[in-house]
Chains A and B, each alone.
Chain A
């Protein structure tokens, strides 16, 4: 009786284990496929949401990042006060515009994605943004999607 019980629990445990193993295995191929695994191209998303000073730091970070690791895929997601530097004519505290820096980074493959919700809320017209900026519906959703679905690393300078 007791042995039968033990065997039964062992069998149950085994089922539990294999079920869990199956559950773990099932999403694994999709996960590794989306992330392109280790050794693939490193992908990084930069969050810019704190205004001009953060953007100045980020420009330096981005340049250094690409110097050290040129084949990194970098996406900058800007929302909140982080969109300010992508508005035409925006200047840092020294009076320099961002156009040249953004253009150069754009040519090296950095993508700048701007949150439409922010533009609507802050009444910034799409026409007033720099040419390199691309619009996405929601900045936070874009960051979450890049990290969760596409395996991007997250950085906030």
Chain B
């Protein structure tokens, strides 16, 4: 339903660098359409990244985050060939999960 994320993970010296590009309109609930009606808020609320079932990153997003958010974080202890899984949930309960193999 929701558009896929682009997830990229690279390992260097025991540190895994994860880059995520989410596709989401991130409506703030403050904007109005051409007819003057408020466009209801619709944005990502939580982003969770897991590595081998363990949570390595957790973020809470609000209306101030831009459309199509880009996120970059690092964690220690990942190995090449393993997978990183990223999930976001928005305020309508929509979900999207994507994964990337660490290179």
Residues of A participating in the B interface, judged by any CB pair closer than 8 Å:
103, 106-107, 127, 131-132
Contact = CB atoms under 8 A, between A and B. Distances in A.
Contacts of A103: 68, 70
B96 interface: no
A131 B10 contact: no
Interface residues of B, number: 9
Top 3 closest pairs, chain A to chain B, by CB: A131-B21, A107-B68, A131-B6
A127 B67 contact: no
Contacts of B6: 131-132
DSSP class of A's interface residues: helix, strand, loop or mixed?
Answer: helix
B19 interface: yes
A107 B66 CA distance: 11
A127 B70 contact: no
A127 B101 CA distance: 11
Nearest to B70: A131
A132 B67 CA distance: 14
A121 to B, nearest CB: 20
A132 B70 CA distance: 11
